[in-house]
Structure 1
Amino acid sequence: MAVPAQKSNNPGKPGKKEAQPLIIAKTPAEEQRLKLERLMRNPEKIASIPDRPKEWNPRAPPEFVRDVMGSSAGAGSGEFHVYRHLRRREYQRQDFLDKMSEKQNADIKYLDKVEQNKQAAEDRTAKRRKKREKLKQKKLIAKKGKIETNNESEDEVDKSSDKSEDDKEEEEEREDDAETPSFIMGKK
Protein backbone atom coordinates (compact mmCIF):
# COMPACT_ATOMS: atom_id res chain seq x y z
CA MET A 1 0.00 0.00 0.00
CA ALA A 2 1.41 3.35 -0.96
CA VAL A 3 1.66 6.11 1.61
CA PRO A 4 0.40 9.44 0.34
CA ALA A 5 2.98 12.20 0.25
CA GLN A 6 2.57 15.00 2.74
CA LYS A 7 1.12 18.11 1.31
CA SER A 8 2.74 21.40 2.16
CA ASN A 9 1.37 24.87 1.93
CA ASN A 10 4.19 25.89 -0.35
CA PRO A 11 3.96 24.05 -3.64
CA GLY A 12 7.34 23.26 -5.06
CA LYS A 13 9.01 22.96 -1.64
CA PRO A 14 7.78 19.70 -0.17
CA GLY A 15 8.45 19.06 3.53
CA LYS A 16 9.65 22.59 4.29
CA LYS A 17 8.39 24.45 7.33
CA GLU A 18 6.42 27.58 6.89
CA ALA A 19 8.44 30.76 7.09
CA GLN A 20 7.68 32.71 10.21
CA PRO A 21 6.45 36.25 9.82
CA LEU A 22 9.00 38.99 10.16
CA ILE A 23 8.74 40.63 13.56
CA ILE A 24 10.53 43.88 14.15
CA ALA A 25 11.52 44.55 17.73
CA LYS A 26 10.50 47.94 19.02
CA THR A 27 12.33 47.82 22.36
CA PRO A 28 15.60 46.27 23.49
CA ALA A 29 13.68 43.91 25.78
CA GLU A 30 11.60 42.71 22.86
CA GLU A 31 14.74 42.24 20.78
CA GLN A 32 16.28 40.16 23.55
CA ARG A 33 13.09 38.10 23.83
CA LEU A 34 13.14 37.39 20.09
CA LYS A 35 16.78 36.32 20.24
CA LEU A 36 16.03 33.95 23.12
CA GLU A 37 13.04 32.48 21.30
CA ARG A 38 15.21 31.86 18.23
CA LEU A 39 17.84 30.16 20.38
CA MET A 40 15.28 28.00 22.16
CA ARG A 41 13.73 26.72 18.93
CA ASN A 42 16.68 24.35 18.60
CA PRO A 43 18.21 23.73 22.05
CA GLU A 44 20.76 21.22 20.69
CA LYS A 45 22.35 23.88 18.53
CA ILE A 46 25.43 25.43 20.09
CA ALA A 47 25.03 29.10 20.87
CA SER A 48 28.06 31.13 19.93
CA ILE A 49 29.27 33.50 22.60
CA PRO A 50 31.60 36.13 21.19
CA ASP A 51 34.92 36.76 22.87
CA ARG A 52 35.63 40.08 24.49
CA PRO A 53 36.93 42.60 22.03
CA LYS A 54 40.68 42.84 22.28
CA GLU A 55 42.12 46.03 23.65
CA TRP A 56 43.42 48.39 21.01
CA ASN A 57 47.19 48.44 20.76
CA PRO A 58 49.09 50.94 18.70
CA ARG A 59 51.42 49.68 16.06
CA ALA A 60 54.95 49.48 17.42
CA PRO A 61 57.35 52.12 16.13
CA PRO A 62 59.53 50.85 13.34
CA GLU A 63 63.00 49.72 14.30
CA PHE A 64 64.58 51.03 11.16
CA VAL A 65 63.17 53.95 9.17
CA ARG A 66 64.19 53.80 5.53
CA ASP A 67 62.76 56.99 4.10
CA VAL A 68 63.81 59.62 6.59
CA MET A 69 62.44 63.04 5.82
CA GLY A 70 65.02 65.70 6.11
CA SER A 71 64.80 69.46 6.27
CA SER A 72 66.24 69.87 2.82
CA ALA A 73 64.36 71.61 0.09
CA GLY A 74 62.70 69.66 -2.62
CA ALA A 75 60.18 67.68 -0.64
CA GLY A 76 57.07 66.98 -2.65
CA SER A 77 53.56 68.08 -1.76
CA GLY A 78 52.67 64.53 -0.67
CA GLU A 79 55.38 64.45 1.98
CA PHE A 80 53.42 66.72 4.29
CA HIS A 81 50.57 64.20 4.45
CA VAL A 82 52.98 61.36 5.17
CA TYR A 83 54.57 63.42 7.94
CA ARG A 84 51.16 64.35 9.37
CA HIS A 85 50.11 60.69 9.40
CA LEU A 86 53.32 59.60 11.15
CA ARG A 87 52.95 62.39 13.70
CA ARG A 88 49.31 61.45 14.42
CA ARG A 89 50.28 57.80 14.86
CA GLU A 90 53.11 58.71 17.26
CA TYR A 91 50.78 60.93 19.31
CA GLN A 92 48.28 58.06 19.53
CA ARG A 93 51.03 55.72 20.69
CA GLN A 94 52.19 58.19 23.36
CA ASP A 95 48.61 58.75 24.56
CA PHE A 96 48.11 55.00 24.77
CA LEU A 97 51.31 54.56 26.80
CA ASP A 98 50.27 57.41 29.13
CA LYS A 99 46.84 55.86 29.66
CA MET A 100 48.38 52.45 30.33
CA SER A 101 50.77 53.90 32.91
CA GLU A 102 47.86 55.76 34.58
CA LYS A 103 45.88 52.54 34.64
CA GLN A 104 48.80 50.64 36.18
CA ASN A 105 49.26 53.38 38.80
CA ALA A 106 45.54 53.27 39.60
CA ASP A 107 45.72 49.47 39.93
CA ILE A 108 48.72 49.72 42.24
CA LYS A 109 46.94 52.37 44.36
CA TYR A 110 43.85 50.17 44.51
CA LEU A 111 45.85 47.12 45.61
CA ASP A 112 47.64 49.23 48.24
CA LYS A 113 44.29 50.51 49.51
CA VAL A 114 42.92 46.96 49.65
CA GLU A 115 46.00 45.86 51.60
CA GLN A 116 45.62 48.79 54.01
CA ASN A 117 41.94 47.93 54.51
CA LYS A 118 42.83 44.29 55.20
CA GLN A 119 45.49 45.36 57.69
CA ALA A 120 43.09 47.78 59.42
CA ALA A 121 40.41 45.07 59.59
CA GLU A 122 42.95 42.61 61.02
CA ASP A 123 44.03 45.17 63.61
CA ARG A 124 40.41 45.81 64.64
CA THR A 125 39.78 42.07 64.81
CA ALA A 126 42.88 41.52 66.95
CA LYS A 127 41.87 44.34 69.27
CA ARG A 128 38.37 42.94 69.66
CA ARG A 129 39.74 39.42 70.12
CA LYS A 130 41.99 40.69 72.91
CA LYS A 131 39.04 42.47 74.51
CA ARG A 132 36.94 39.30 74.31
CA GLU A 133 39.75 37.28 75.89
CA LYS A 134 40.01 39.79 78.77
CA LEU A 135 36.26 39.66 79.28
CA LYS A 136 36.37 35.87 79.17
CA GLN A 137 39.15 35.82 81.77
CA LYS A 138 37.21 38.21 84.02
CA LYS A 139 34.11 36.05 83.76
CA LEU A 140 36.14 32.95 84.51
CA ILE A 141 37.75 34.57 87.55
CA ALA A 142 34.37 35.83 88.76
CA LYS A 143 32.90 32.36 88.31
CA LYS A 144 35.77 30.76 90.22
CA GLY A 145 35.38 33.36 92.98
CA LYS A 146 31.67 32.71 93.16
CA ILE A 147 32.23 28.97 93.35
CA GLU A 148 34.84 29.45 96.08
CA THR A 149 32.54 31.74 98.09
CA ASN A 150 29.76 29.20 97.69
CA ASN A 151 32.11 26.45 98.88
CA GLU A 152 33.28 28.58 101.80
CA SER A 153 29.71 29.48 102.74
CA GLU A 154 28.79 25.81 102.56
CA ASP A 155 31.78 24.99 104.77
CA GLU A 156 30.74 27.75 107.13
CA VAL A 157 27.19 26.45 107.09
CA ASP A 158 28.55 22.98 107.79
CA LYS A 159 30.80 24.37 110.52
CA SER A 160 28.03 26.57 111.87
CA SER A 161 25.69 23.60 111.83
CA ASP A 162 28.43 21.63 113.65
CA LYS A 163 28.91 24.58 115.99
CA SER A 164 25.22 24.96 116.49
CA GLU A 165 24.99 21.28 117.36
CA ASP A 166 27.90 21.71 119.74
CA ASP A 167 26.27 24.83 121.18
CA LYS A 168 23.03 22.96 121.65
CA GLU A 169 24.82 20.15 123.48
CA GLU A 170 26.66 22.66 125.68
CA GLU A 171 23.42 24.46 126.45
CA GLU A 172 21.80 21.17 127.38
CA GLU A 173 24.75 20.36 129.63
CA ARG A 174 24.48 23.76 131.24
CA GLU A 175 20.80 23.19 131.83
CA ASP A 176 21.65 19.84 133.38
CA ASP A 177 24.35 21.51 135.42
CA ALA A 178 21.94 24.12 136.59
CA GLU A 179 19.76 21.42 138.08
CA THR A 180 22.63 20.07 140.08
CA PRO A 181 23.83 22.38 142.79
CA SER A 182 27.10 24.02 142.28
CA PHE A 183 28.13 23.16 145.79
CA ILE A 184 27.48 20.05 147.75
CA MET A 185 25.68 20.63 151.01
CA GLY A 186 27.04 19.19 154.08
CA LYS A 187 30.52 18.85 152.78
CA LYS A 188 33.17 21.23 153.41
Structure 2
Amino acid sequence: MADGGKRPQKKAAQQLVIPRSAAEEQRLKLERLMKNPEKQVPILEKPKDWAPRPPPEFVRDVMGSSAGAGSGEFHVYRHLRRREYMREEFMEKQAAQQRLEEEFQKKLDNNRREAEEKTDKRRKKRQKLKEKKLLAKKAKQDLTETAEGSDENSSSEEEENSPKEKVDDCEEPSFVMGGR
Protein backbone atom coordinates (compact mmCIF):
# COMPACT_ATOMS: atom_id res chain seq x y z
CA MET A 1 0.00 0.00 0.00
CA ALA A 2 1.44 3.26 -1.20
CA ASP A 3 -0.37 5.56 1.19
CA GLY A 4 1.22 4.14 4.29
CA GLY A 5 -1.18 1.31 4.87
CA LYS A 6 -4.19 3.53 5.36
CA ARG A 7 -7.38 2.82 3.57
CA PRO A 8 -9.53 5.67 2.27
CA GLN A 9 -12.33 6.40 4.71
CA LYS A 10 -15.88 6.01 3.58
CA LYS A 11 -18.42 8.69 4.19
CA ALA A 12 -20.27 8.28 7.43
CA ALA A 13 -23.19 5.97 6.87
CA GLN A 14 -26.47 7.78 7.04
CA GLN A 15 -28.75 6.71 9.80
CA LEU A 16 -32.00 5.10 8.81
CA VAL A 17 -34.75 7.25 10.26
CA ILE A 18 -38.30 5.97 10.16
CA PRO A 19 -40.82 8.81 10.43
CA ARG A 20 -43.48 8.22 13.05
CA SER A 21 -45.89 10.89 11.84
CA ALA A 22 -46.74 12.84 8.72
CA ALA A 23 -45.16 15.97 10.19
CA GLU A 24 -41.89 14.17 10.83
CA GLU A 25 -41.92 12.74 7.31
CA GLN A 26 -42.42 16.22 5.89
CA ARG A 27 -39.63 17.60 8.10
CA LEU A 28 -37.24 14.91 6.83
CA LYS A 29 -38.14 15.67 3.20
CA LEU A 30 -37.55 19.39 3.76
CA GLU A 31 -34.20 18.72 5.41
CA ARG A 32 -33.14 16.56 2.47
CA LEU A 33 -34.20 19.29 0.01
CA MET A 34 -32.41 22.02 1.95
CA LYS A 35 -29.09 20.12 1.97
CA ASN A 36 -28.59 21.23 -1.64
CA PRO A 37 -30.66 24.36 -2.38
CA GLU A 38 -29.29 24.73 -5.94
CA LYS A 39 -30.71 21.36 -6.97
CA GLN A 40 -33.81 21.48 -9.15
CA VAL A 41 -36.98 20.16 -7.54
CA PRO A 42 -39.31 18.20 -9.79
CA ILE A 43 -42.85 19.58 -9.67
CA LEU A 44 -45.37 17.19 -11.12
CA GLU A 45 -48.00 18.55 -13.45
CA LYS A 46 -51.64 17.64 -13.27
CA PRO A 47 -52.28 14.52 -15.33
CA LYS A 48 -54.47 15.00 -18.36
CA ASP A 49 -58.07 13.95 -18.00
CA TRP A 50 -59.07 10.71 -19.62
CA ALA A 51 -61.03 11.13 -22.81
CA PRO A 52 -62.58 8.28 -24.78
CA ARG A 53 -61.71 7.55 -28.34
CA PRO A 54 -64.19 9.10 -30.76
CA PRO A 55 -66.62 6.68 -32.39
CA PRO A 56 -65.40 5.22 -35.65
CA GLU A 57 -66.50 6.98 -38.81
CA PHE A 58 -66.76 3.77 -40.78
CA VAL A 59 -67.73 0.48 -39.14
CA ARG A 60 -66.42 -2.51 -41.06
CA ASP A 61 -67.88 -5.47 -39.21
CA VAL A 62 -71.51 -4.60 -38.77
CA MET A 63 -73.36 -7.05 -36.60
CA GLY A 64 -76.88 -7.82 -37.46
CA SER A 65 -79.57 -9.75 -35.71
CA SER A 66 -79.14 -12.76 -37.93
CA ALA A 67 -78.91 -16.22 -36.54
CA GLY A 68 -75.74 -18.21 -36.75
CA ALA A 69 -73.28 -15.62 -35.48
CA GLY A 70 -70.03 -17.08 -34.26
CA SER A 71 -69.21 -17.52 -30.59
CA GLY A 72 -66.58 -14.76 -30.75
CA GLU A 73 -68.99 -12.15 -32.05
CA PHE A 74 -70.63 -11.68 -28.67
CA HIS A 75 -67.33 -10.60 -27.12
CA VAL A 76 -66.73 -8.08 -29.89
CA TYR A 77 -70.26 -6.71 -29.41
CA ARG A 78 -69.82 -6.58 -25.64
CA HIS A 79 -66.56 -4.64 -26.01
CA LEU A 80 -68.10 -2.11 -28.42
CA ARG A 81 -71.11 -1.69 -26.17
CA ARG A 82 -68.90 -1.11 -23.09
CA ARG A 83 -66.82 1.46 -24.95
CA GLU A 84 -69.95 3.31 -26.12
CA TYR A 85 -71.39 3.38 -22.58
CA MET A 86 -68.11 4.79 -21.26
CA ARG A 87 -68.16 7.46 -23.96
CA GLU A 88 -71.76 8.43 -23.10
CA GLU A 89 -70.96 8.52 -19.38
CA PHE A 90 -67.95 10.74 -20.07
CA MET A 91 -70.07 13.15 -22.12
CA GLU A 92 -72.72 13.28 -19.37
CA LYS A 93 -70.09 14.01 -16.70
CA GLN A 94 -68.56 16.70 -18.91
CA ALA A 95 -71.99 18.32 -19.46
CA ALA A 96 -72.74 18.21 -15.71
CA GLN A 97 -69.35 19.75 -14.93
CA GLN A 98 -69.93 22.49 -17.51
CA ARG A 99 -73.39 23.17 -16.07
CA LEU A 100 -71.92 23.44 -12.54
CA GLU A 101 -69.22 25.81 -13.83
CA GLU A 102 -71.85 28.03 -15.48
CA GLU A 103 -73.93 28.10 -12.28
CA PHE A 104 -70.82 29.00 -10.31
CA GLN A 105 -69.99 31.85 -12.70
CA LYS A 106 -73.58 33.14 -12.50
CA LYS A 107 -73.40 33.06 -8.71
CA LEU A 108 -70.06 34.90 -8.75
CA ASP A 109 -71.46 37.56 -11.10
CA ASN A 110 -74.57 37.92 -8.94
CA ASN A 111 -72.48 38.28 -5.77
CA ARG A 112 -70.19 40.80 -7.47
CA ARG A 113 -73.19 42.83 -8.69
CA GLU A 114 -74.82 42.79 -5.22
CA ALA A 115 -71.55 43.87 -3.63
CA GLU A 116 -71.25 46.74 -6.12
CA GLU A 117 -74.82 47.83 -5.39
CA LYS A 118 -74.14 47.81 -1.63
CA THR A 119 -70.90 49.70 -2.14
CA ASP A 120 -72.63 52.33 -4.31
CA LYS A 121 -75.41 52.73 -1.77
CA ARG A 122 -72.92 53.15 1.09
CA ARG A 123 -70.79 55.53 -1.01
CA LYS A 124 -73.84 57.72 -1.69
CA LYS A 125 -74.75 57.64 1.99
CA ARG A 126 -71.22 58.69 2.98
CA GLN A 127 -71.30 61.46 0.38
CA LYS A 128 -74.64 62.78 1.71
CA LEU A 129 -73.31 62.70 5.27
CA LYS A 130 -70.16 64.52 4.19
CA GLU A 131 -72.22 67.19 2.40
CA LYS A 132 -74.45 67.55 5.45
CA LYS A 133 -71.42 68.06 7.68
CA LEU A 134 -69.99 70.66 5.31
CA LEU A 135 -73.33 72.52 5.23
CA ALA A 136 -73.51 72.43 9.02
CA LYS A 137 -69.96 73.70 9.28
CA LYS A 138 -70.70 76.55 6.84
CA ALA A 139 -73.89 77.42 8.71
CA LYS A 140 -71.97 77.50 11.97
CA GLN A 141 -69.28 79.71 10.43
CA ASP A 142 -71.90 82.07 8.98
CA LEU A 143 -73.63 82.17 12.33
CA THR A 144 -70.42 82.98 14.16
CA GLU A 145 -69.40 85.55 11.52
CA THR A 146 -72.72 87.36 11.70
CA ALA A 147 -72.58 87.18 15.48
CA GLU A 148 -69.07 88.59 15.42
CA GLY A 149 -70.17 91.36 13.04
CA SER A 150 -73.05 92.37 15.28
CA ASP A 151 -70.87 91.89 18.34
CA GLU A 152 -68.28 94.27 16.94
CA ASN A 153 -70.84 97.06 16.71
CA SER A 154 -72.27 96.38 20.13
CA SER A 155 -68.92 95.54 21.66
CA SER A 156 -67.51 98.94 20.81
CA GLU A 157 -70.42 100.45 22.72
CA GLU A 158 -70.03 97.94 25.57
CA GLU A 159 -66.30 98.56 25.80
CA GLU A 160 -66.99 102.16 26.48
CA ASN A 161 -69.62 101.38 29.10
CA SER A 162 -68.37 98.18 30.83
CA PRO A 163 -65.14 96.24 31.41
CA LYS A 164 -64.29 93.18 29.21
CA GLU A 165 -66.10 89.91 29.98
CA LYS A 166 -64.87 86.51 28.90
CA VAL A 167 -67.21 84.49 26.73
CA ASP A 168 -67.59 80.85 27.81
CA ASP A 169 -66.86 78.66 24.74
CA CYS A 170 -67.90 75.40 26.41
CA GLU A 171 -71.56 76.44 26.24
CA GLU A 172 -71.57 76.46 22.42
CA PRO A 173 -72.72 73.18 20.82
CA SER A 174 -69.99 71.34 18.97
CA PHE A 175 -72.44 70.13 16.36
CA VAL A 176 -75.56 71.35 14.67
CA MET A 177 -78.66 69.26 15.23
CA GLY A 178 -81.12 68.80 12.39
CA GLY A 179 -84.32 70.82 12.72
CA ARG A 180 -87.71 69.22 12.84
TM-score (norm 1): 0.72
Deviates most, 102-111 or 68-77: 68-77
Q: Which residue of 1 aligns with 2:118?
A: 124
1:108 aligns with 2:76: no
| Runs of 5+ consecutive residues of structure 1 not aligned to the other structure | 10-15, 169-188
For 1:94, the equivalent position in structure 2 comes to 88
Distance 1:118 1:50 in 2: 34
Does 1 or 2 have the higher relative contact order (CA < 8 Å, sep 6+)?
Answer: 2
Correspondence for 1:155 among 144, 149, 156: 149
SS in 2 for 1:54: coil
For the pair shown, the structure with the greater C-alpha radius of gyration is: 1
Cα gap change, 1:6 to 1:107, in 2 (>3 Å): farther
CA RMSD of aligned residues (A): 2.6
Taking only the aligned residue pairs, the percentage that are identical comes to 56
- Given candidates 42, 53, 65, the residue that maps to 2:47 is 53
Relative to structure 1, is the Cα distance of residues 136 and 21 closer, same or farther in structure 2, using a 3 angstrom cutoff? Answer: closer
- 1:5 is displaced (CA, Å) by 7.0
For residues 40-66 of structure 1, the C-alpha deviation after alignment (integer angstroms, 9 at most, x for no partner) is: 454444332222222111121111111
- CA distance, structure 2, for counterparts of residue 5 and residue 158 of structure 1: 115
> What does residue 172 of structure 1 align with?
none
Q: So what's the TM-score if we normalise by structure 2?
A: 0.75
**Would the alpha carbon gap of residues 158 and 114 (structure 1) be closer, same or farther in structure 2, given more than 3 Å must change?**
same
